[in-house]
Every structure is written in C-alpha cells, then in structure tokens.
Structure 1
C-alpha cells in the first residue's frame, strides 16, 4: 500500500524553482533576464543570471527551473522577482555567495524528457562560455535543483562531454561537464521506482503518464533506463550531495539511497542527507540545510 501511495503521488513531481518560502531577509542581487542560450523549433531557450551584491565568491551554479519537467517564467511585472526573493532555491544559494544561472529547458507538454537533456547540456556549455563575464571560473561549475529539476541536474552531470571541436557552432565546441552536483529528492531510477519493477504500477495509477514523459512508448524499460541517472554513472561522475526527506510521498527516499549506493560502489565522493519528517519540495526550517550545500560546493568548486 505504501508503494502504491508513493507511486500515485510521484506523477505530480511538484514545482521546483518557486516553491518553499525563504525564512530570512532576502539577499540583494543584480539580475540579468532572458539571456538566449539556444533555440528549439524557432523558440528561444533562456536563462537568467542572479549575482549577489555582497560576499560574492566567484563560483557559478546552474539552477534548473523545472517542475513536473515543465519550465516556466511569468510575464507579470514583478512576479518573477518576487518569486526569486521569497523561495528557498534562489535565496539559499545567494546567501552562500554563489552566482546563479537559472536555466529553463524545453518544457512539457510540448517536449519530452529525452529532448530536455540536450537542452541541459547546451545550457552548461553556454554558461561556461560566458562565465568570465560574470566573474565566475568557467572550469569549476556546479548544478543543482530538486525533483524533476534534480533529475535533469543529474542527467546533465552524467551525460556531459568535452564538446565537439569540429562543430560549426562555437558553443557546441565547449565542454558540458560540471564539476559538482547537489540534487534534492531526485528521481534516479524510473524502472525500479520504490521497489524492483515499480514502474509497472505507475501506469496503473496514472494512465498515459509514460507517453507524457517519453512521447512514443515502444520499449518501456530501455526507454526508462535511458533517462535514469543511476544507469549512467561512470567513474568520472562529479561529486554528488543528495538531500531527501524520509516522509517524501512524491519521490521515494529509495531513489536517493540507490544513487548513493552506486556512487559508493565506484568509490566516488557522495553524501546523502536525510531530513527526518521531510516531505517534498520544502519543509519547515529548510534554510538550515543550506550551509551543508554551501560547504559541498565550496569543497569541490573553489
């Protein structure tokens, strides 16, 4: 029954950037909006840069804006800046002195998860190409987010490469590797969701879910493995910090536990922080978790 409850909630994958209130005075930051890092079917892929006014470290982090694999930005004047001043995702990192590149990928329902991963690779390449313009070391970039954003952060980290030196596009010649990852309550194995073969119950509680995520479904297990970070971990994978609540009914804690076990198996730097009673997206006192995040990024990026 517990697995069924977890699976039925999982399909929601709550909104990531823009949920959870910061419980302190907002950090003043300089914002550069809507920088185009690529195009998709004639549509622009954009990111925003947030630079803390004080205590800036010169360390850049890619913050993936994603909820249920959808990435949005409000056109209402002032609404977006209010969101960035009140949610823990941006504020928690700005308080640590990090420069943020808030990236929006090609969004569900128009695009499917396999199409979003190249967007994330492109975003890393682009951020690296402009990092020095914002006082950031391009050779030491981190990536972070939670839930579907955490999933895409991991997929970007596991699929990064050195770039294609023969590409006509100068951005595609740039490395898409990141040097550190922090993932909050991320999906990591869509095949064994909560239990071995757990994916089979998802379609039972939410018919059509896999078609919405994958597009055409023709061989479900290989397709799910292809978008599951667990199966892409190599000996070159970057250091990983996982944060997960043990009462998360949307993404089972098991998803972070098995990712940590895979890293441990390969002898890679990894840490899992389990929040007692923590649910999904945010919990009371979540800002108290951020010094752990700062320390992790400082250790591997400075």
Structure 2
C-alpha cells in the first residue's frame, strides 16, 4: 500500500454492510455487500472517499478499486472500497448498499479517525452511475429507525465521477441499464435513474472526467450532468480529454488522461479534502 508522508495505513479487511443480509458467494458478488477500509493512521480526522468500481452493474473492476485507494492514501485521504451487489441484483439494491456505506462510514467516523463532514464518493463507469445516484437520491436518515446507522444522512459531501454512466436515456450504456433496470424499463424508471434529471440545489459539488471518443459510455453522459450542475449553480469541474478509451482507471500509461488524478487532487484540496 502506498502511504501518505509520515502516515501508515490500516487495512481492516471486509466489513459487512448489513447484519441481516447473507453475504453472497456467487461469481461477481463474493463477500457482498461489504466495505473494505484503507484508513490512514495518525491523529486525524481525515477526509475519506468511498470508491465504487465500474463493471456495467455485472461485476466490479479491481483496477478501479485498489489502485485508487492507494492513490487516495498517498495524498492524505482515507479510502473505502465499496463491494456493492451487482446482477442479478437490480435497482434499488446497489443504491441501498451505497447509501448504507455512506451512513456506516459517517457512523464510525470518530472511531476510524474520519471527518464526518468530509465524506465523498468516487465512481467509475457504472460505479460512476452509482456514485451519482447516491449524490442525487440521498436522504437525511430515519430518526425513528431502530438501527442507529439508518438514522444518519446518506448524502456524500462531494462526488468524483470518472467516465460515468449518468443517463438511462439516449446516451446510456445499454448493458448497465439492462442489469440495473431490466430489458424493458418503464419510462418512469428511466427518468428516475437518469441522474442528470435528478439534480437539485442540494446536490454535492462534483468533479468529472471523460474521454471524448469513449466508445462504451458516450461523453454526453458527463456533458449532460455538468450542464445540469451548471444550471442549478452547483460547483463542478469537468475535464474532457480528446482521446482515450473506456475503463482507463488511474490512466497511468495514457498520455492525456494520466493528468486526471493531479487535477482531481487539486479540486479536492479546494473543497477542503
């Protein structure tokens, strides 16, 4: 694990999100739903990002999980890898897992030396759709819930969306839509999960990046989301690289997109992370 200067990292292993949900053991849902913390050691409190890897809601890509946690730790941010449920599970199961992860991290913030007001979510591709869903479909918690974790807000403080699936409409990624909503989703569900249409004045500040020639998830996804963020006067930063491909992850070997982590770090610093 790459570490921040003068800091160690406490890798705690996977922690189940729910006491009453059996962890799945099928091919792409092993040990799900759970979170896997990579927490900075020291006095804290540290900011933290919850990482939602992509995979078309069919799987979760490891190259969009652990290298990202290493990078975040190296810049002084604790990281949590989210193992959310994928197909055959469909909406709202992935969102429920993401919301639970945010609540759980906020609930354990003091114990884990985290700042409960600096909890972000970072997602790639379909994980970007999940992250943007968490940021546009949050709630402030159920104060009457017996489970104290469920009493806590699921609103992330920032979103980082990397070549995200955003819309379920014209420019969607068909595989993600089928896995999340089924073969023939209703117009109501398409509207509900087209997250560019769910932005409000309370949507968190957002960093987005995409490549203009992404052949799997059209760049229009990020453009639509950024346009609506602008219309609602939500702070955002958007970077579109002229060329590349889908699924670049940290993009270390790409001559253009490799700039995104440094750009994102500067943006996170501006937001107090």
When the two structures are superposed, what TM-score results if normalisation uses the length of structure 1? 0.76
Match of 1:77 in 2: none
1:180-218 deviations in Å (ceiling 9; x for gaps): 111001111111217xxxx8xx5xxx8xx7553314745
Give the counterpart of 1:95 among 74, 77, 101.
74
Give the counterpart of 2:83 among 104, 124, 128.
104
CA contact (8 A) 2:212 2:242 kept: yes
Match of 1:188 in 2: 166
Give the count of matched residue pairs. Answer: 255
Distance 1:98 1:287, change over 3 A: farther
The alpha-carbon deviation at position 106 of structure 1 amounts to 1.6
The alpha-carbon deviation at position 57 of structure 1 amounts to 7.1
> Which protein is bigger by CA-based radius of gyration?
1
Distance 1:211 1:65, change over 3 A: closer
Match of 2:259 in 1: 288
Give the counterpart of 2:239 among 273, 280, 286.
273
When the two structures are superposed, what TM-score results if normalisation uses the length of structure 2? 0.83
Distance 1:268 1:211, change over 3 A: closer
Distance 1:215 1:247, change over 3 A: closer
Structure 2: which 5+ residue stretches go unaligned?
24-31
SS of 1:113 mapped into structure 2: coil
Structure 2 matches for 1:230-269, cutoff 5 A? Answer: 230-269=196-235
1:6-60 deviations in Å (ceiling 9; x for gaps): xxxxxxxxxxxxxxxxxxx944733111111215753352111113469977111
CA contact (8 A) 1:29 1:53 kept: yes
How many angstroms apart in 1 are the aligned matches of 2:41 and 2:147? Answer: 34
Moved more, 291-300 or 236-245: 291-300
Match of 2:181 in 1: 214
Structure 1: which 5+ residue stretches go unaligned?
1-24, 74-79
CA contact (8 A) 2:16 2:35 kept: yes
Moved more, 284-293 or 210-219: 210-219
When you count helix as a share of all residues, which structure comes out higher? 1
CA contact (8 A) 2:210 2:222 kept: yes
CA contact (8 A) 2:136 2:198 kept: yes
Distance 1:249 1:42, change over 3 A: same
Higher relative contact order (CA 8 A, sep 6+): 1
Match of 1:34 in 2: 14
